[in-house]
Amino acid sequence: MDISIAAEEYHYENRVALTPAAVKSLFRFGHNVFIETGAGKGAGFSDDMFRDVGARIVFSKDEAFMRGKILLKIFPPTAEEYKLLTENQIIFSFLHLVAAHKEGLDTLLAKKITAVGLEVIEDQSGRLPVLTPMSELAGQMSLPIASYYLSNIGGGRGVLLGGAAGIPPATVIVLGAGTAGLNAVRAANGLGCHVILFDTSLDRLRYANDIFGRQLVTYLPFRYNLEKVIPIADVVIGAILIHGAETPKLIPEELVRKMKPGSVIIDISIDQGGCVETSRPTNWATPCYTMHEVTHFCVPNMPSNVGRTATYALANAVLPFIRMVADNGPEKAFADDVGLAKGVYTFDGHVTNEPVGKRFDVKTRKLADLLKGGKTA
- Which sequence positions are flagged as catalytic? 96, 271
Neighbour order of strands in the sheet with 294-297 = 216-219, 194-198, 171-175, 235-238, 264-267, 294-297, 288-291
Q: Is 367 exposed, middle or buried (0-12, 13-18, 19+ CB in 10 A)?
A: buried
C-alpha span between 209 and 217 (Å, rounded):
8
Neighbour order of strands in the sheet with 2-5 = 56-58, 32-36, 2-5, 70-72, 90-93, 114-117, 344-347, 350-351
